[in-house]
C-alpha cells in the first residue's frame, strides 16, 4: 500500500490542497480520471466565457444604430475559429497541470480513477493507497431526466455545446438556468436560431424583479412551464413534442438539442458504500462545520457537498481547509462571507444575499430600493432601455440583506455591495462615500437613495 500525507480525489478545485501543502513538505497524491482542471477549466466557467465574450461584441455592434453609429457591413464571427481557440487554450492549460506536478518531488499525479475499498483505503484496481487526510473534490455532472426517446438521440450537454463538431443553424435548449441562458445567448448572437423549453420559470431561483426584467429582454425565446412528452431524432433533426402551459400540444424541431437540466454529484462511483461516509438522498456528501465527512480524516468540498455550485465557493472552501489543517490550524468552523453569483447572459445578472421573496417568507423587515440604469448619467449616455440595481436593506440594522443587478457590467458592479456586506456597512456608509460622476456605480448610489426615501416615509 502506498501511504501519503494527503490524497486528493479530483484535480479541479482540489488543487487548492495539492501544491500549497506540498510546499510545506507534505507528500500529496492527486487522482483525476478526466482532464486536469475540473469542470471550471474544461467544461464550464472558462471556456464558456471565451465563447460568450466575442458574442457580446457582436451584440454591441448591432446595438450601435440607436446612437446613431453605423457599420458599413453586418458584424460576423468566424465561429469555428472562436471554438478552436477555446479548445486549444483549455487543452494547453489542462495539460500544463500534470507537467507542473511532475516537477514537484512531493506530488504524485495519477491519471486514473480510484474507489474506496475500506474506510481509509483507496484502490485503482491494481494498487492501494491511504493517507492521513483524504479530500473528495469530484464535483458534479449534468443531470439528464427520463424523457421518452431522449437516450436514443445524440443530444448535447454543456460539454458538447462548448466544443461542437460543427456550428448548428438551429438549437433547442431544455432548461432555463445558468447554462441555458449563457450558452443560448452566445449561440443566438452568432446567428443560430435558439429556442428554450423549460418546465418551470426562467431562472427560477432568482429574485422576482430580476425574473420579470429578464423575461422582458430574453436573449432568445423561451417557452416556460412546458412539459416535454417525447424526443425523437429524424432525418438529422431533433423533434421535441410537448404540452404548453395553455394545454396545447406543440412540436419543436432543430439541428441540435442541448440538455441543461441541472446537475448531479459525482459520488456514485467512489465506493462510498464501503465507508462510513454518508450522503444525502440526492447523493451529495454530508460534511460538518469543518467540511469533514462522517469518516474522520476524510473531507469533501466544492460542488460535491451541494452547498454552493461555484468555483469561487470551492476555492474558498479549499483555502479554509488548508489553513484549518496545515496553516493556523484553527478549530473554528468555516464561516462563509456573502456568496455572490452571476449569470453571464444578455442582459447580465448578478446577485448576493437574500431575494425579496426569501425575506418575505422569513418575515424579515426590510427597505427596498430599485434604480433603473436609465435613471443615471451613464445610463443616459448609453441610452439604456433595460436594467436596474435592487438593494434590500434591514430595517433593524440598516445593513444590506441582498442585492440584485441586471444589466451592463452587473458582475463587476455588484462587488461594491459585496464588500460593503462583508464589512457590515450600513445605509449611511453607502450614501456617505463619494461616487465618481458619471460612472456606472452611480446607479448603485441611486438605489440606496431610494432606500433612504422609503425609510423617511416611515
Task: Confirm if 135 and 32 have CB atoms less than 8 A apart.
Answer: no
CA distance 22 to 106: 6
For residues 348 and 411, give the distance between their C-alpha atoms in angstroms, rounded to a whole number. Answer: 7
* 178 marked ligand binding residue: yes
The answer to the question of whether 322 is labelled as a binding residue is no
Q: Is the peptide bond before 438 cis (omega within 30 degrees of 0)?
A: yes
**Cα separation of 409 and 404, whole Å?**
12
C-beta of residue 241 within 8 angstroms of C-beta of residue 172: no
437 given a catalytic annotation? yes
Asked if omega into 448 is within 30° of 0 (cis), the reply is: no
Whole-angstrom Cα distance, residue 425 to residue 328? 28
Instruction: Judge whether 353 is annotated as a binding position.
Output: no
Tell me: cis bond preceding 347? Omega within 30 of 0 counts: yes
* H helical segments located in 372-414: 377-382, 410-413
**String of b and e for 163-195 (b: at least 16 CB within 10 Å)?**
beeebbebbbbbbbbbbbbbbbbbbbbbebebb
Cα–Cα distance, 56 to 70 (Å, whole number): 17
Q: What is the full DSSP assignment across 188-230?
A: HHTT-EEEEE-SS-TTTTS-HHHHHHHHHS-SS-EE-S-EEEE
- Is 303 among the annotated ligand-binding positions? yes
Q: Is 176 annotated as a binding residue?
A: yes
Collapse the DSSP code of 412 into the 3-class scheme (helix H, G, I; strand E, B; otherwise coil) and give the result: helix
442 is in an annotated binding site: no
State the burial class of residue 85 (Cβ atoms within 10 Å of its Cβ: 0-12, 13-18, 19+).
middle
Catalytic residue, candidates 143, 217, 415, 437: 437
Q: Is 175 annotated as a binding residue?
A: yes
Binding residues, by number, are 49, 175-182, 262, 303
Binding residues for NAD(+), by number, are 175-182, 262
Catalytic residues: 437
Binding residues for FAD, by number, are 49, 303
Amino acid at each position: 500500500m502506498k501511504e501519503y500525507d494527503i490524497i486528493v480525489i479530483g484535480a479541479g478545485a482540489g488543487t487548492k490542497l495539492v501544491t500549497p501543502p506540498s510546499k510545506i513538505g507534505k507528500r500529496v497524491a492527486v487522482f483525476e480520471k478526466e482532464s486536469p482542471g475540473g469542470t471550471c477549466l474544461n467544461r464550464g466557467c472558462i471556456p464558456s466565457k471565451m465563447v460568450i465574450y466575442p458574442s457580446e461584441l457582436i451584440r454591441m455592434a448591432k446595438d450601435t444604430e440607436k446612437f446613431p453609429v453605423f457599420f458599413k457591413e453586418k458584424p460576423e464571427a468566424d465561429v469555428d475559429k472562436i471554438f478552436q481557440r477555446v479548445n486549444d487554450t483549455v487543452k494547453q492549460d489542462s495539460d500544463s497541470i500534470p507537467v507542473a506536478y511532475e516537477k514537484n518531488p512531493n506530488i504524485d499525479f495519477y491519471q486514473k480513477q480510484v474507489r474506496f475499498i475500506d474506510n481509509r483505503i483507496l484502490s485503482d484496481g491494481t494498487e492501494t493507497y491511504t493517507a492521513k487526510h483524504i479530500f473528495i473534490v469530484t464535483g458534479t455532472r449534468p443531470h439528464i431526466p427520463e424523457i421518452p426517446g431522449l437516450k436514443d438521440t445524440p443530444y448535447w450537454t454543456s460539454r458538447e455545446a462548448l466544443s461542437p463538431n460543427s456550428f448548428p443553424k438551429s438549437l433547442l435548449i431544455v432548461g432555463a438556468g445558468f447554462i441555458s441562458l449563457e450558452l443560448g445567448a452566445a449561440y443566438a448572437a452568432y446567428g443560430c436560431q435558439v429556442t428554450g423549453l423549460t418546465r418551470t420559470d426562467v431562472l427560477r431561483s432568482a429574485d422576482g424583479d430580476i425574473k420579470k426584467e429578464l423575461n422582458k429582454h430574453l436573449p432568445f425565446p423561451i417557452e416556460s412551464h412546458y412539459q416535454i412528452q417525447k424526443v425523437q431524432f429524424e432525418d438529422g433533426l431533433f423533434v421535441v413534442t410537448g404540452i404548453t402551459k395553455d394545454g396545447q400540444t406543440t412540436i419543436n424541431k432543430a439541428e441540435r438539442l442541448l440538455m441543461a437540466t441541472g446537475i448531479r454529484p459525482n459520488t456514485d462511483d467512489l465506493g462510498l458504500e464501503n465507508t462510513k461516509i454518508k450522503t444525502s438522498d440526492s447523493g451529495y456528501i454530508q460534511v460538518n462545520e469543518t467540511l469533514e465527512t462522517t469518516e474522520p480524516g476524510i473531507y469533501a468540498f466544492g460542488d460535491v457537498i451541494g452547498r454552493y455550485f461555484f468555483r469561487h465557493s470551492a476555492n474558498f472552501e479549499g483555502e479554509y481547509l488548508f489553513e484549518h489543517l496545515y496553516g493556523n490550524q484553527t478549530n473554528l468552523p468555516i464561516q462563509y462571507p456573502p456568496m455572490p453569483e452571476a449569470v453571464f447572459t444578455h442582459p447580465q445578472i448578478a446577485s448576493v444575499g437574500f431575494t425579496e421573496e426569501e425575506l418575505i417568507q422569513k418575515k424579515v423587515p426590510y427597505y427596498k430600493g430599485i434604480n433603473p440604469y436609465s435613471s443615471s448619467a451613464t445610463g443616459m449616455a448609453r441610452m439604456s432601455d433595460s436594467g436596474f440595481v435592487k438593494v434590500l436593506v434591514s430595517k433593524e440594522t440598516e445593513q444590506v440583506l441582498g442585492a440584485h443587478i441586471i444589466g451592463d457590467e452587473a458582475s463587476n458592479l455588484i462587488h461594491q455591495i459585496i464588500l460593503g456586506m462583508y464589512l457590515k456597512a450600513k445605509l449611511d456608509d453607502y450614501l456617505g462615500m463619494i461616487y465618481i460622476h458619471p460612472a456606472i456605480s452611480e446607479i448603485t448610489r441611486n438605489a440606496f437613495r431610494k432606500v433612504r426615501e422609503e425609510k423617511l416615509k416611515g
